[in-house]
Amino acid sequence: MWSIISVLVENKPGVLFKVTHLFRSRNYNIDSISVGITENPEFSRMTITTSADEKQLNQIIKQLDKMIDTVEVKLLDEKKSIYRELVLMKIKITKPSDIMEITDLANAFKCNVHDVRKSSIIVEITATPDRISAFEDLVRGYGILEITRTGLCSLERGVGNES
Amino acid sequence: MSGARSLMVALEKEGANIVFGLPGGANLPIYDELYKSNIRHILVRHEQSASHMADGFGRVSRRPGVCFATSGPGATNIVTGIATAQADSAPMIAVTGQVPTKMIGKDAFQESDIIGITNPIVKYAFQPMTAAEIPEVVKKAFYISSTGRPGPVLIDIPKDVQQNEAEMVFPSEVKIRGYHPWVDPDIREIERAINMLLAAEKPVILAGGGVIISGAFAELQSIAELLMIPVVTTFKGKGSFPENHPLSLGPIGMHGHAEANKIMVEADCVLACGSRFSDRSVGTFEEFERNLKIIHMDVDPAEIGKNQTTHIAVVGDIKASLRIMVKMLIQKATKRPGDNPWLKRVNETREYFRQNLKLHSHPLGAAKVLRKLREVLPPQSIVTTEVGQHQMWASLFFDVIHPGTFFSSTGLGTMGWGFPAAIGAKAAKPEVPVVDIAGEGSFNMTENSLAVSVLDDLPVIVFLLNNFSLGMVAQWQRTFYDRRMIGIDLKNCPDYVKLAESYGAQGIRAQSIDEIGKAVQTALKSNIATVIDIPIDPQEDVLPFVAPGTSLKEMILPS
């Protein structure tokens, strides 16, 4: 089971360390984590994805909530939130027609293409994890040389009960 | 005013009148201000003991004990003490010196990243980088340490921050937006809990350390008596309920009382107050919760459902929750008759084990020794223990009569804790006798605190059950490792009478039950630090015994 947790934290040194250390010391798993400052510079927002059963997820949320530097901890409902990940993928070019084919695929997925070279091309894709996987499957045949991903970042839809 | 001066002023404002510590290069500005202040300093011989003293002081006074250590090794030496306080939810403020701000990260002399090292074992940690922050940091530290579920808070102050001058503002209160320690218990849940208890045929109360921390002794007793429910405790909760009370069954667990374990597994409903269902208390989690309805009261919401499935959860301070429960019971005029079949079963079980549980036959068997101590020690005396066989014998054979007078390192199981913690306890309550029920293996670890007990006029009695070995390890090697005995023989070294005397303390060797009684009386009368060395049988095991990874049903009884 895959879950998205949104954590609003105090924007100060050491908080990311404390959050990740909590996962380590309690033997929970972080699949991805993204952190950035919010509209209020006093806070940062972390989006954490984790695979845990219901009981463990419950504990993760309570333990995060217990941390003094966390201000708000929310388990996000996928249907009621927007979540995206940015992935850069370096794909191998074997023959010139590869470039065209990959660019076409990239367009179909609304990706940007960067750094087109004789032997490689970098594609930037911002999408949900399942769409990213779909794209990855399609280009795997060309040979994926390197991947870097930001981890999910996520926001609830609407304001208050509007979501 | 300097950062160091503001630290002292802030500590005084928080009511701290004693600190346990040891100076060094990086906290000398703090000590220079300590010299000028009215705060009493207790000079330890090893920083670990300072942290245990602050812990013992905190548990007894129920306000944070304060310890000081310098940077680097001074700071790392208190790590065990901090972890111990965290595991047992004890309020403590640890103030460490740090290398100057511009040296941090340069691997400077006596630099250690104590904030990083202690992260998983503190309730919170501060590292003020300017002097002006110190008053607010201290205020917040005391607030965090002593509220909700108490715990240790570290304040790591770089040397230049101690020395720098700043305009100081001492806040009268602080707010921390991510910290909400006060949760009002949900009255509907308490009502449901009452109904569940009344509907149960075989209810028990499981009293944990939370009852002692919140001082909910009277409330607990009222509920037990109104509902006529037998009370078992965890080891940490030992003494939350008078152990000579007709409804008391004593601690459950690995070395719980036979009758307590037996009744616990027969029960159909448990009201758990301030207990985290540790593995040492409940055996296997799955087996414990089978056929058992669990009502869980705890101040820490993260404890609900952590180890056991809960049917009703009441989050809030135990004293507040139990007080509401008592009120509701009185309003409804709810009482349960004392002549129900369950209580009859409870009494029969207790009686059966009292008659039939075989005690060790040696003339200085642990039961005889500890019952003698109980007989001669005034009930309001404070007792700490070290960690090992003697600790579990204390749990089995030393009845706590006056609630909240028994303290032990139950969560972390820190050998060497009992003696310095006893000194801290004596500092908190000088008017009562304080006894450390000890084993020599544990006592070895912090015995140099004898200097403190003597020189600082904090006399405690070390009641030393000496079996010349690391007894609990020996027991496990006898039981689980086919008697391959290794690393346990302490060879009766040192001579504890001479050791005590060399520190200026009193050393008494007691070789019979009669001599033990006299030695304790001598120690109580003389009011000087005393080590009573009692040579016991190295072959005695702690029984009953629930082997690790098994359920409370599978209790090994003495044969």
> Residue B536: its pLDDT value, please?
97
DSSP strand E in B230-292: where? 231-233, 248-251, 269-273
Spatial contact of B314 and B300, defined as CB atoms under 8 Å apart: no
Do B126 and B260 belong to one domain? no
- Confidence at residue B284, expressed as pLDDT on a 0 to 100 scale: 87
DSSP bridge pairs for B101 = none
Question: Tokens 């320690």 — which residue?
Answer: B181
A113 close contact with B: CB closer than 8 A: no
pLDDT of the residue at B395: 96
CA distances in angstroms from A139 to A103, A127, A144, B198, listed in the order given: 11, 16, 7, 66
Q: CA separation (Å) from B225 to A85, B173, B350, B474, B515?
A: 60, 40, 18, 42, 39
Mean pLDDT over residues B505-510, rounded? 98
Q: How far is CA B72 from the centre of its chain?
A: 27
User: What is the rounded (10 degree) CA torsion for A10, A12, A18, A19?
Assistant: 50
Instruction: Examine residue B181 and state whether it is found in any structural domain, yes or no.
Output: no
- Does A163 score more than 60 pLDDT? no
**Lowest mean pLDDT segment, chosen from A24-28, A82-86, A141-145, B334-338:** B334-338
Is B557 within the bounds of a domain?
no
Domain end residue (candidates: B329, B356, B383) = B356
Query: pLDDT per residue over B332-352, tens digit each?
Result: 887 788 789 999 999 999 999
Out of B8, B20, B33, B47, pick the active-site residue.
Answer: B47
The DSSP string of B82-97 is HHHHHHTT--EEEEEE
pLDDT at residue B6, rounded to an integer: 98
Q: Which of B328, B356, B384 is the last residue of a domain?
A: B356
User: What's the mean pLDDT when you consider all of chain B?
Assistant: 96
Hey, of A66, A69, A72, which one would you mutate to test binding to chain B, going by the most B CBs within 10 A of its CB? A66
Q: Is B143 left (phi over 0), alpha (psi -120 to 50) or beta?
A: alpha
CB contact under 8 A, A62 and B177: no
Nearest to B21 by CA among B59, B80, B70, B63: B70
**Is B178 among the domain residues?**
no
Segments making up each domain of chain A, as ranges: 2-76, 82-154
Q: Indicate the range of B47-51, B396-400, B547-551 predicted with least confidence.
A: B547-551
Q: Does domain A82-154 have CATH number 2.140.10.10?
A: no
Chain B nearest CA to A125, separation (Å) = 36
DSSP H or E stretch at residue B280: helix B279-282
Topology agreement, domain A2-76 and domain A82-154: yes
Provide the shortest C-alpha distance from residue A12 to chain B (in Å): 12
Confidence of residue A161 (pLDDT cuts 50, 70, 90): low
Fold of the CATH domain A2-76:
Alpha-Beta Plaits (3.30.70)
Residue with tokens 């015995």: B447
**pLDDT above 70: residue B418:** yes
- Specify whether B49 is located in the same domain as B104: yes
Neighboring chain A residues of B144 at a CB cutoff of 8 Å: 68
A contacts of B115 (beta carbons < 8 Å) = 14
- Please say if the pLDDT value at position A79 is more than 70: yes
Q: What's the average model confidence in pLDDT over B518-528?
A: 96
- Chain B positions in Cβ-Cβ contact with residue A11 (cut-off 8 Å): none
Q: What is the pLDDT of residue B338?
A: 79
A66–B301 CB contact, under 8 Å: yes
Q: Which residues contact B290 (CB under 8 A, 6 or more apart)?
A: none
User: In this complex, do B302 and A66 lie within 8 Å of one another by their Cβ atoms?
Assistant: yes
Residue B544 three-state SS: coil
- Interface predicted TM-score of the whole assembly (ipTM), two decimals: 0.89
Q: Cα distance from A59 to chain B (closest Cα, Å)?
A: 6
Say if residue B215 is in the same domain as residue B253: yes
* B272 contacts B296 by C-beta, under 8 angstroms: yes
DSSP string, B321-349: HHHHHHHHHHHTT----TT-HHHHHHHHH
- DSSP string spanning A62-91? HHHHHSTTEEEEEEEPGGGEEEEEEEEEEE
**Residue B473 pLDDT more than 60?**
yes
B472 assigned to active site: yes
Mean pLDDT across B124-138: 98
- Counting residues of chain B whose pLDDT is more than 70, the rounded percentage is 100
Q: Which position among B123, B139, B159, B238 bears the catalytic label?
A: B159
B117 has a chain A CB within 8 A of its CB: no
Residues B159 and B261 in one domain: no
pTM (predicted TM-score) = 0.95
| Alpha-carbon span B419 to B435, nearest angstrom | 8
> What is the per-residue pLDDT across B354-388, written as a single tens digit (0 to 9) for each?
999 999 999 999 999 999 999 999 999 999 999 99
Among B292, B296, B316, B321, residue whose Cα is nearest residue B234: B296
Mean pLDDT of B113-133: 97
Same domain, B381 and B274: no
DSSP B509: E
Total domain count, chain B: 3
Segments forming the whole domain that contains residue B72 = 3-163
The verdict on B156 and B192 lying in the same domain is no
Rounded average pLDDT over A102-131: 95
What sign has the CA pseudo-torsion B13, B18, B22, B28? positive
DSSP B165: B
Nearest-angstrom CA–CA distance, A27 and A23: 6
Say if residue A153's pLDDT is above 60: yes
B22-78 pLDDT, tens digit per residue, is: 999 999 999 999 999 999 999 999 999 999 999 999 999 999 999 999 999 999 999
Q: Does B113 touch chain A (CB under 8 A)?
A: no
What are residue B68's phi and psi, to 5 degrees? -115, 140
Does residue B277 sit within a domain?
Answer: yes
Query: Could you tell me which residues come within 8 angstroms of residue B373 by beta carbon, excluding any fewer than 6 positions away?
Result: B398, B435, B437, B463, B516, B520
Specify the range with the lowest mean pLDDT, choosing from B88-92, B303-307, B511-515.
B303-307
Which tokens go with B343? 């209580």
| Domain membership flag for residue B558 | no
Q: Which positions in chain A touch B124 (Cβ < 8 Å)?
A: 68
Residues 6+ apart with CB under 8 A from B306: A59, A62, B276, B277
- At residue A1, the pLDDT reads 67
The answer to whether residue B171 is domain-embedded is no
Residue B103 in contact with residue B72, Cβ under 8 Å?
no
Q: Name the minimum distance, in Å, from the CA of B71 to any CA of chain A.
A: 19
Q: How far apart are CA B512 and CA B505, in angstroms?
A: 22
> Residue B80 is part of a domain; what is its CATH number?
3.40.50.970
Q: Do A71 and B301 touch (CB under 8 A)?
A: no
- Tens-place pLDDT, residues B96-111: 999 999 999 999 999 9
Residue A162 has pLDDT above 80, yes or no: no
- Are the Cβ atoms of B124 and A10 closer than 8 angstroms? no
Same domain? B483 vs B347: no
Closest-CA distance of chain B to residue A63, Å:
6
Q: Are B341 and B226 members of one domain?
A: yes
Residue B152 has pLDDT above 80, yes or no: yes
| Whether residue B408 has pLDDT greater than 60 | yes
End-to-end CA distance of chain A: 23
> In terms of domains, do B335 and B427 share one?
no
**Do both B298 and B374 map to the same domain?**
no
Length of chain B: 559
Checking if the pLDDT of B116 tops 80, the result is yes
pLDDT, mean of residues B458-464: 98
Is A16 an 8 Å CB contact of chain B?
A: no
Residues B285 and B350 in one domain: yes
Instruction: Compute the average pLDDT of residues B206-212.
Output: 98
In chain B, which residues have their Cβ closer than 8 Å to the Cβ of A65? 301-302
Same domain, B399 and B495: yes
